[in-house]
Amino acid sequence: MNKISGVVICYNEEKNIERCVLNLQTVCDEVIVLDSFSSDRTVEICNSLNVKFHQKAFVGYGEQKIAATKLANMEFILSLDADEILSEELINEILFLKKDILADVNYIPRLTNYCGVWVHHCGWYPDRKIRLWKQSCAEWTNQEIHETVKVVNSQASINTLRNNILHYSFLSAQDHFEKINKYSNIQSKNLYDRGMRVNKIRKYLSAALKFISIYIFKQGLLDGRTGYLISKRSAYAQFIKY
């Protein structure tokens, strides 16, 4: 039987953390939570659950996830964000594989819920990412944003699971705009530090191309009004980033 550590980083996630932890506990042998000194009820909720709770000042998503993974004791890591859970079908799939046929590195598709609607286009699905891996075979990159898990053992066996992580990312339009402002600030600073400068024409053109890319080429129109809103708000995010 393979042993799995569930790992979550969080900050002010009182709305999500209990759901995420209880979900991970259905398949994991331990759950690690690394908190960035939350000011809401996150700490209180975690202390009421059977988790290994730690705190560390936030220094970037990649570095934070690397630090959280180092706290894990089991051979395999299963990493979720606080606003994610495993679908019931994925729980059963992992429990079956966990017995003795779990690959070293596992890609898992992610289905995102946008303001109550599951999004199947817009380039958002299947959005397969490495989320379950053997510690000796893969690791997080240390990027400040858009961190990923990379394979570090060329001999590692690789599998793609069939069932979904469920991502409850955007609960409202306000929630989306808050995240746009948060991430665009980080992205623009990174681009500026790398020497990029942008004129007005490029700002408007890049926003228009972003809308066309998501709504037309990534078939956002098939998601109806939700696809239109995602395309429009993603174009806005592109504009303010530049």
Give the predicted TM-score (pTM) of the model. Answer: 0.90
Residues of the chain with pLDDT under 70: none
pLDDT digits (tens, 9 = 90+) for 62-89: 999 999 999 999 999 999 999 999 999 9
pLDDT digits (tens, 9 = 90+) for 219-242: 999 999 999 999 999 999 999 888
At residue 200, the pLDDT reads 83
pLDDT digits (tens, 9 = 90+) for 178-197: 888 887 887 888 778 888 88
Strand residue runs (E) in the chain: 4-10, 30-35, 52-55, 76-79, 84-86, 105-108, 110-114, 117-119, 129-134, 138-140, 149-151, 158-160, 165-170
Question: For residue 52, what are its two tokens?
Answer: 């290994």
At residue 49, the pLDDT reads 97
How many separate helices (H) and strands (E) can be counted in the chain?
7, 13
At residue 20, the pLDDT reads 98
Residue type, 132: L
